[in-house]
């Protein structure tokens, strides 16, 4: 069976992607930073879908830990055919009040961490002349957002990273794309006030928050043969939110 690695795969969007890929026939490695229980639960659901599952704790902001994660995934499941760069954190606040540490922590995990995972994964994919990498960016990376200068900068940076890697790797049959979700019903959006939620829904033509499965479907498509002529693309999964930006 083909093998996939999903970082931040224990909860939210990452969990939905991992389970969807398992249903599509992938064995799946889950990378997680701290919630081992959630990762184990996701692995059990993957196994229930008939695929092999492993979970490894790693802070992708650390280059060595990220490389070890990729190596451990390949040792357990074989060569990686797909990698989903999903690990992310938020530390919101207005830019004039945001500490340097809060800015750096988000960029280090959400952007630099993606590079730390992509680099060792790409080495094997380039040798094998096949593979798909999908980075989970955000509509915020396209539009900006009040109180999220760090998050928006990291998610915008992911788009530049994806498009650069796509140019570097395309000649060897490796595709690199991104999805840009809008507001999705996860732990990160559960803290929104009714006023904030109302404003988001009012600006979203489809009139609802996304579900993790909406993003999982897009990631699965980009990893499939149906997207074989797509690389360097940014697939918006936002209910039309970015159109009004």
The span from the CA of 36 to the CA of 52, in Å, is: 17
Contact by Cβ (8 Å): 180, 141: yes
The span from the CA of 231 to the CA of 25, in Å, is: 22
Assigned token pair, 87: 């690990």
Give the torsion sign (CA, 124, 162, 91, 140). negative
Task: Please say if 183 is a catalytic residue.
Answer: no
The span from the CA of 220 to the CA of 227, in Å, is: 9
Coil, strand, or helix at residue 214? helix
Choice among 26, 56, 151, 183 that is catalytic: 151
Contact by Cβ (8 Å): 30, 43: yes
The residues, ordered by sequence, that sit 6+ positions from 66 with a Cβ below 8 Å of its Cβ are 58, 60, 113, 116, 117, 120
Kindly list the catalytic residues: 151
């Amino acid at each position: 069976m083909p093998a996939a690695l999903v970082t931040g795969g224990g909860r939210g969007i990452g969990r939905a992607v991992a389970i969807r890929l398992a249903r599509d026939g992938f064995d799946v490695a889950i990378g997680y930073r701290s919630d081992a229980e959630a990762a184990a639960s996701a692995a059990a659901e993957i196994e229930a879908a008939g695929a092999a599952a492993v979970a490894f704790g790693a802070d992708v902001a650390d280059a060595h830990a990220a490389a070890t994660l990729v190596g451990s995934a390949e040792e357990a499941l074989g060569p990686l055919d797909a990698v989903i760069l999903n690990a992310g954190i938020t530390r919101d606040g207005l830019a004039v009040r945001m500490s340097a540490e809060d800015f750096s922590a988000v960029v280090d995990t959400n952007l630099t961490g993606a590079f730390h995972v992509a680099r060792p994964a790409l080495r094997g994919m380039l040798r094998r002349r096949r593979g798909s990498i999908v980075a989970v960016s955000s509509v915020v990376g396209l539009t900006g957002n009040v109180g999220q200068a760090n998050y928006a900068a990291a998610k915008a940076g992911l788009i530049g990273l994806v498009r650069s890697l796509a140019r570097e790797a395309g000649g060897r049959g490796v595709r690199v794309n991104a999805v840009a979700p809008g507001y999705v019903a996860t732990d990160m959006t559960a803290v929104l006030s009714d006023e904030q939620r109302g404003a988001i829904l009012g600006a979203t033509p489809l009139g609802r928050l996304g579900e993790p499965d909406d993003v999982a479907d897009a990631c699965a498509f980009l990893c499939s043969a149906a997207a074989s002529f797509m690389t360097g693309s940014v697939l918006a999964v936002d209910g039309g939110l970015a159109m009004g930006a």
